[in-house]
Amino acid sequence: MGINLYISETAVKVLWILILATIIIIITFPFFLNRNIIQPLNNLLIGVKQIVNNGSLDVQVKVTYSDEIGFLTESFNSMIRSIKNYADNLENMVEQRTQELSEAKKETDRILENVDEGLFLIIQDKTSFIIGSQYSKILESIFMRNDISKAIFIELVSNYIDSSKLKDIDKFLKLMFRKNIDENTLEELNPLSKIKFIFFDKNKHLVFKFRRVFKAKTISHLLVTVRDITTQVELAEKLVQTEK
């Protein structure tokens, strides 16, 4: 009887301990869950939202504990720091490259303004040959016009030369864009090697030379030089007349 009473009292004590422990767990578990799991995850989520909504890379989430969530948070912070450093360096690189391109364009413009012969690029379009946007300043004096940029080359020269030569010029330019044909051989067939341009108030004798420009083993442009040899031609004609 005494043993049964002792067991009964012990069981009651154990039961009360279990009940008390359960109550403590029920009361403290939400606090533990919120403090150690929910709140750190919420902080991490807030940091992600700041990046997504505001595009801010200055976000650094506080690491509360050195557990799995803390490791995840620190990895997130490290990733954001790396992205920010890359973005900062990229911005500096873009600014530096833009400045370099600006300086290069200024230098090119200075060269084109001072070169003493016509210089421009021809680009092959689907059905035509287009003059590039940059050309030497003297080209405007040679052609006696300033609307040269992006002009269709054959249409431009058709205003000043015999129309019977236009087909030969078109064929010649098409062949120049075929890299399997020798460039030096084609130069001998150049219909613009020495040609008279007829303007409103005067005639000019011009010499055109064409050279291929390659990009990744493909002909991307033709580099064209133009010289005005009118003075030399007129002088030669005078000498011939004098000899007669």
DSSP state string for 10-40: HHHHHHHHHHHHHHHHHHHHHHHHIIIIIHH
**Sequence spans of domains, the chain:** 2-90, 115-243
* CA-based nearest residue to 197, from 213, 186, 208: 208
- Greater confidence, 192 or 1? 192
Question: To the nearest whole percent, how much of the chain has pLDDT over 70?
Answer: 68
Answer CATH for 115-243 from 3.30.60.50, 3.90.105.10, 3.30.2130.30, 3.30.450.20: 3.30.450.20
- Greater confidence, 3 or 93? 93
Confidence of residue 237 (pLDDT cuts 50, 70, 90): confident
Give the burial class of 66: count Cβ atoms within 10 A of its Cβ; 0-12 exposed, 13-18 middle, 19 or more buried.
Answer: exposed
List the structure tokens of 46: 């807030």
> Residue 16: is its pLDDT beyond 70?
no
**Average pLDDT over every residue of 82-109:** 77
Most confident range, picked from 78-92, 101-115, 202-216: 202-216
Kindly report, residue by residue over 160-217, the tens digit of the pLDDT. 999 999 999 999 999 999 989 999 889 889 999 899 999 888 899 999 999 999 988 8
Kindly report, residue by residue over 26-56, the tens digit of the pLDDT. 666 556 555 556 666 676 667 666 665 666 6
Q: Which residue has the tokens 């070169």?
A: 115
Amino acid 208: pLDDT:
95
- Greater confidence, 17 or 206? 206
- Give the integer Cα–Cα distance in Å for 141 and 199: 12
* Collapsed DSSP state (helix, strand, coil) of residue 200: coil
Backbone Cα Rg of the chain:
41
- Give the integer Cα–Cα distance in Å for 119 and 210: 10
Residue 141 phi, psi dihedral angles, 5° rounding: -70, -40
